[in-house]
A = this chain, B = another copy of it.
Amino acid sequence: MRSCLFVLLIFLHSSCFAQTDDSIVLAHFFETALSKDKAYSDLHDLCKQCGARLSGSEGAAKAVVLTQKILNTMGLDSVWLQEVMVPHWVRGARESASIIYPSANPQFKSNIAIVHVCALGGSIATPSAGLTAQVIEVKGLGQLAKMNPADIKGKIVFYNEPFDQSFKETFNAYSKAVAQRWGGAMEAARYGAVGVVVRSMAQHVDEWPHTGVMGYNDSIVKISAVAISTKDADQLSEALKEKKNLMFHFETSCQKLPDAQSYNVIGEIKGTEFPNEVIVVGGHLDSWDLAEGAQDDGAGVVQSIEVLRLFRSLSIKPKRTIRVVAFMNEENGGKGGAKYAAWAKQNGEKHLAAIESDAGGFTPRGFSMVVSDSLRALIKQRWKPLMDKFEIGSLDNDGAGSDVEHLEGICTLLAELHPDSQRYFDFHHTGRDTWENVNDRELEMGAAAMASFVYLIDKYGL
């Protein structure tokens, strides 16, 4: 009995010591990230030197060069580019829309009300004179499916399903509403619609249209699609209550060019004990083309870089290989994520964990995971008390970033930084997604949270 007690006391002592020890390291991550502010400075350079970074664009090419340059200054063990062919869609110069009232509207002193729209990513252009047709409103794909096809034929379909405000997590509201953006054009075209206008994927009512990827079905005729700002969507909906056979006009000049050569940018610190076990941190380097892609996903890229910088600056030598991957083409193709996973598979690399940051540079709450129930329970049991001290212990959500999800099957833990989501959809895919709209401290704390999780996984394994 005495020896059992002795062993137990030793165990408790070393366990407490390890917790205290780990707590000090995590505190250092937060203090260092917050006081040095390097990720925020990297984000400035990425946003201001490269600008928008849609796959195939000049900005994306500049971002590859800049990211490689940053990684090269950090004393990593290797830095390299991984070739990947990416889709190349361009918006073009013309993009406008208006509601056409049957007679002059006193508010506008005209029968035309200009509204804020942007082409959805991947859309074909309208004819050069634009599209003009009667517009009909539906609340989403479900409502469209219940309509009489004769009422859709020849019309512009206006999808106006708003975000469900009752969800605490805004990403759940996004998931519920986004089907109309992705599938709206193909479903409407199936019934003979000539174009679609989709309510922006936004939490609030404002004048900013939100772009984002949409899909076509090769067996159905392709029609043009634009997103309309939430404020204008409300106006259009109001106008339709007054006048059922309202006309709408929009024109776009976007086009798909041949696929372009691009790159994932990769750097790593080799593990001291298990160099063949890899822990990936990453974000995506490409962005939509309306602004600087600061929250989506410059933030994720610079936070991931910061993880390795924090290890280096605190002289922590990881047992496993810690690798940062700046993925290309998450927004409209996912080619970078797929390429990385295929390469890792081919190399027979053992991936222990892959943690993406692609939900904005807001205050971290924890990590969402794609993981077995038993491993989630183990992670919570071992580390939640410590992570709770830093308010990053929310570990119950499902999901991982779409780039790292390509690693499913060859990676033990797929995860994503889970930041506060309340303001994300004020910026996502809009002209407002600029460096100025990222809070330096929130961003840095996200990097420290990622470093903390990586540190624990590296030290104790999974």
Which A residues contact B (CB, under 8 angstroms)? 30-32, 34-35, 37, 165-168, 170, 203-204, 363, 365, 388-391, 393-394, 396, 420, 422-423, 439-442, 445
**Closest CB pairs A-B (n = 4):** A31-B166, A35-B166, A35-B165, A422-B441
* Interchain nearest-CB distance for A436 vs B (Å): 12
Task: Pick 6 A–B contacts, CB within 8 A, sort by A.
Answer: A34-B168, A35-B166, A165-B441, A168-B390, A422-B439, A423-B439
* Interchain nearest-CB distance for A419 vs B (Å): 10
List the B side residues contacting A165 at CB < 8 Å. 34-35, 37, 441
* Contact B203 A441, beta carbon cutoff 8 Å: yes
List the B side residues contacting A445 at CB < 8 Å. 168, 422
List the B side residues contacting A391 at CB < 8 Å. 168, 365, 394
* Contact A168 B389, beta carbon cutoff 8 Å: no
Complex alpha-carbon distance, A441 and B362, angstroms: 15
Complex alpha-carbon distance, A165 and B34, angstroms: 6
Which of B204, B393, B422 contacts A388, CB < 8 Å?
B393
Complex alpha-carbon distance, A440 and B442, angstroms: 19
Complex alpha-carbon distance, A389 and B32, angstroms: 30
* Interchain nearest-CB distance for A375 vs B (Å): 19
Complex alpha-carbon distance, A204 and B439, angstroms: 10
List the B side residues contacting A166 at CB < 8 Å. 30-32, 34-35
A30-B168, A422-B442 known; 4 new pairs, CB 8 Å cut-off, are A34-B168, A35-B166, A170-B441, A422-B445
List the B side residues contacting A170 at CB < 8 Å. 441
* Interchain nearest-CB distance for A393 vs B (Å): 7
List the B side residues contacting A393 at CB < 8 Å. 388, 393
List the B side residues contacting A394 at CB < 8 Å. 388, 391
Nearest B residue to A37, CB-CB: B165
Complex alpha-carbon distance, A439 and B419, angstroms: 16
Complex alpha-carbon distance, A449 and B101, angstroms: 46
List the B side residues contacting A37 at CB < 8 Å. 165
List the B side residues contacting A168 at CB < 8 Å. 30, 34, 390-391, 445
